Amino acid sequence: MSAIPEEKAQNPLRLIKKYPNRRLYDTEPSRYITLAEVKDLVLAYREFIVQDAKSGEDLTRAILLQIILEEESGGVPMFSQDMLANIIRYYGHAMQGLMGSYLERSIFAFHEAQKRFQEQAQTIYGELPKMTLMPGQAVPNVMGGYLEKGAKAVIDLQEELRTQALKMFSGFPYSAGPEPERGEEQAAPKAKASKKGRARK
């Protein structure tokens, strides 16, 4: 067996247990916590796992999706209706894996770019003030628009690959187009014969 890294041994994965009454129990402070507090752990980059208290099943993804659903149901959703529809269309699709990995890499690249921008801005201007929103003020949906363009790029790529595949196989005999009807086949020799007759004259 491989040795556990020293850093992991000092900072073990935080365990949160989910009970049948839907309550979440954080084993580190030994108390029940809310979904909003789980969100705070995500924002603080704290690694954790949510397990079913009875079966031990990993429920981390389900809890994260629940947090996203609550955020999207709020006043400032990140994903547009069209983008959500496009994502749904890729479940069970041949390119589902490509779409998932593409969005994951796009989010990571966007996040890294944002971090570098903030670090550079802090170096030049110092600590940046947090943006406060007035009631009813719209927030620029930068991330949602970025991902929506990324999803459209994948769809365009799929269409381009499909077009190229059709062009590639169009040269084979079995795809040379529909066969002419019998009437057309009979009319063609008659036309040739009449042309020969005219040439003799």
pTM: 0.56
Model confidence over 20-58: pLDDT tens digits? 988 999 999 999 999 999 999 999 999 999 999 999 999
For residue 58, give the DSSP letter.
B
Which DSSP string do the residues of 104-120 spell out, in sequence order?
HHHHHHHHHHHHHHHHH
pLDDT one-digit tens code per residue, 121-141: 778 766 655 555 444 445 455
| Confidence bin at 17 (pLDDT 50/70/90) | very high
Report whether 26 contacts 32 (CB < 8 A).
yes
Query: Which segment of 60-69, 93-102, 148-157 scores lowest on mean pLDDT?
Result: 148-157
Q: Work out the pLDDT band at 170, boundaries 50, 70, 90.
A: low
Query: For helices 81-89 and 142-169, what crossing angle results, to 10°?
Result: 40
Give first-to-last CA distance, the chain, whole Å.
Answer: 98
Tell me how many degrees the CA angle 34-35-37 measures, rounded to the nearest 5.
65
194's enclosing H/E stretch is helix 182-200
Query: Which is more confident, 167 or 68?
Result: 68
Q: How far apart are CA 58 and CA 63, in angstroms?
A: 10
